[in-house]
Structure 1
């Protein structure tokens, strides 16, 4: 059984887990009034001297202080700036751990180049210190899982940066299949050795999945084919990491051929093929703005996020995957660099919040400060994109989960 959330289908069991986990955290939630000299709702104009009322983990009212009455008994929290909780649109946090040793690096399985059956939920470590690093800096939701480097490296999922178990953190157990097109694949595997071979292998598996999908349900189960069938049926995304313009165009060509939903990831040379990306109406999870230049990503630019956004392409931010410690970036720092290099302030706020929620199918519950949504908020000492600004408090499901860095 599937339950639809604004056009994006989540498994019923996943939704049930989300509701149960939300209830657990709401049980400890307080009645809180958050006052901000500037409140960015992400869906409307910023509210000067705004107030957000929270009850049982849910936003019950938001508006200017002159129009919102704070009931007696509410705890009052104040900050110069308040935003929705930020969403990291692509990470490997929880699978790639802080220590950079074999025992905490589960983001890429090298025994095969195509492994869609690998589930992020089976490897996620909610206790990893990097989860806390992101939470303390205002990241409340993360799309994480198997990382780039294989033709298909495995499944991704969505979690909140709370809890000590994956069940407590879980929002969506299967969001996308992580794929890679580019030279990095042949660096990790003897086969495929070229781009053409990699795409041929991927295309063959998708054709097999089409045939598997057409068979009687009485046949034996195949976990690989089941995952690919979910993709072909539009239940999950293809998260394709592709940096060069030719690899981006290959990803778009595959989407047209098989009709799957595509999230374009990395896209260092996206500014060279903006017309094609816009025509395909594909969101871009832009590479970490400050990524190291080299290989397929040698032409990355600080200005790409702003150029794509100005062209009407949906842009999201990611921490991505780092091969060196500390193993993760922080998306609002990456967004700050994009703002300093041409991206509008409001575009960056939306990219970190409501735009990411919409793309991930979660806009009914998170991504903005609106009545009825889960109370994921971040309180800042100033503009989130200024270097000297710090986080004073983070709320998830109406509970203060972090106080200062």
Structure 2
């Protein structure tokens, strides 16, 4: 699939104001509607009022209000959810002034907030929305031991507040060669990485010596204490089996809410991952397979599904332009390597939404959820299929040009 020209007037309006302020009353018809909350519906309809889904069902038995704007497509799905990206913190033109996803001055910086870096006007946000992506889990990326926080946003909005779904989603950490210091700076080895993480967790765990005195604010410790209290999951990018096991040991020692990101060699540790009860945000299927991705497998997604391990696919980070991949394509590629169609669709809709903590709002077409829709003129995972329309919070933000 390639990006197509879309009518952008609605997108401009939706960017100027919060989407709910302009929510439309819509009826969306699909020859096939994948709700991700049950079986696909042949000749189905989705009814949206005031930005929320109010009805989903077969056209023959679902009441369709009069006067609502009506759209139709061959295939209708929930708006796609990208489970991990740096879009909005990195720019499409690959220039230094638009690369805010990684601060390298210190190896541990959990206090860095994604909201202070996200640019909703970045062209990449518009670009991925053209492929049906309506929700992003974005934030600080790989390259340091603890790089910062992540957040969840919609792919509309003039300001970060307009786009916001979840201000703090996870704390992003990294193990392995991608987070080793240069020029003799720590951490220089894997044992040092683990030791530094343990030290940061133990420091935050310790109570102030004098409880009758108000302690000075420590931004790093405040965030780390939220991780220890399971108010924030710790997402650790770990690709080699030895690094994944290092992350699992941290989870066991500190009883963390852990998400494994990347997980190129996860197929070697299916029992360990399942027994640990962690979720996985799997590396892009088409990632370049060198370095700690050298042993990545095209069939890992199918293996995780077979093992019953919760996982989602992601676009991840692309070092060169356009700085991101596309989750729609990643899921399609996984289908070509053993993952069933609807299982692949789950990895970029409801499963992704649940893993990043927003499954109560997005990821499936159910009454009460946000009116986020992607429309296609054929099988979403076929290369020649086009995205013919995108709806976010009940606003038609793009549609196929006539």
- TM-score computed with the length of structure 1 as normaliser: 0.92
Q: Residue 58 of structure 1 aligns with which residue?
A: 52
Change (3 A) 1:212 1:348: farther
Q: What are the within-5 Å matches in structure 2 for residues 150-299 of structure 1? A: 150-186=144-180, 188=182, 190-212=185-207, 216=211, 218-299=214-295
Q: Measure the CA separation in 2 of the matches of 1:213 and 1:350.
A: 45
Tell me the C-alpha RMSD between the 2 structures.
1.6
Deviates more, 1:357-366 or 1:322-331: 357-366
Change in CA separation of 1:214 and 1:59 when aligned onto 2, cut-off 3 Å: farther
Q: How does 1:73-92 map to 2 (within 5 A)?
A: 73-92=67-86
Match of 1:49 in 2: 43
Deviations 1:212-237 (A, max 9, x none): 48974821110000010110010111
How many Å apart are 1:275 and its aligned residue? 0.5
Q: CA deviation at 1:191?
A: 1.3
In the other structure, the counterpart of 1:323 is 319
Contact 1:116 1:224 in 2 (8 A): yes
Partner SS, residue 400 of structure 1 = strand
More displaced, 266-275 or 187-196? Answer: 187-196
Question: Distance between the aligned counterparts of 2:337 and 2:393, measured in 1?
Answer: 33
- What is the SS of the residue equivalent to 1:174? coil
Residue 388 of structure 1: aligned partner:
384
1:150 and 1:188 in contact (8 A); partners too: no
Asked if 1:148 is matched to 2:123, the reply is no
Contact 2:115 2:167 in 1 (8 A): yes
Aligned mates of 2:199, 2:285 — CA distance in 1: 34
Q: Is the 8 A contact 2:375 2:390 kept in 1?
A: yes
Separation in 1 of the partners of 2:125 and 2:203? 37
- Match in the other structure for 1:8: none
Residue of structure 2 in register with 1:9 after alignment: none
1:351 maps to what in 2?
347
1:129 aligns with 2:123: yes
Structure 2 vs 1, CA of residues 215 and 272 (structure 1 numbering), >3 Å: closer, same or farther? farther
Total equivalences in the alignment: 384
Per the alignment, residue 98 of structure 2 pairs with 104
**Structure 1: 5+ residue runs without aligned partners?**
1-20
Per-residue deviation, residues 275-331 of structure 1 (Å, max 9, x unmatched) = 000111111100000000111110111110111111101110111111111100111
| Shift of residue 31, structure 1, vs aligned partner | 1.3
Maintained 8 Å contact 2:279/2:309: yes
Contact 1:149 1:188 in 2 (8 A): no
**1:404: how far off?**
3.5
Q: What's the CA shift string for 1:74-96, capped at 9, x where partnerless?
A: 11101000000111010111111
What is aligned with 1:399? 395
Q: Map of 1:324-343 to 2, 5 A cutoff? A: 324-343=320-339
Partner of 2:23: 29
**C-alpha separation between the residues in 1 aligned to 2:105 and 2:400?**
42
Distance 2:209 2:69 in 1: 57
Deviation of 1:195 after TM superposition, in Å, equals 0.5
Structure 1 window deviating more from structure 2 (360-369 vs 284-293): it is: 360-369
Q: Secondary structure at the match of 1:164?
A: coil
Q: Is the 8 A contact 2:208 2:215 kept in 1?
A: no
1:27 offset after TM fit, Å?
Answer: 2.8
Measured after TM superposition, the shift of residue 49 of structure 1 is 0.3
Contact 1:318 1:331 in 2 (8 A): yes
Whether 1:40 and 2:34 are equivalent positions in the alignment is yes
The 1-side partners of 2:242 and 2:271 are apart by 14
Q: Please give the alpha-carbon distance, in whole angstroms, between the structure 2 residues aligned to 1:361 and 1:320.
A: 18
Partners of 1:118 and 1:215 lie apart in 2 by: 28
Q: Following the alignment from structure 2 to structure 1, what is the Cα–Cα distance between the partners of residues 254 and 63?
A: 54
Note the C-alpha offset of 1:24: 4.2
| CA deviation map 1:123-163 (0-9, x unaligned) | 11110000001111111000000001111011111111001
Compare 360-369 and 34-43 and name the one that shifted more. Answer: 360-369
Q: Compared with structure 1, are the counterparts of its residues 266 and 58 closer, same or farther at alpha carbon in structure 2 (3 Å cutoff)?
A: same
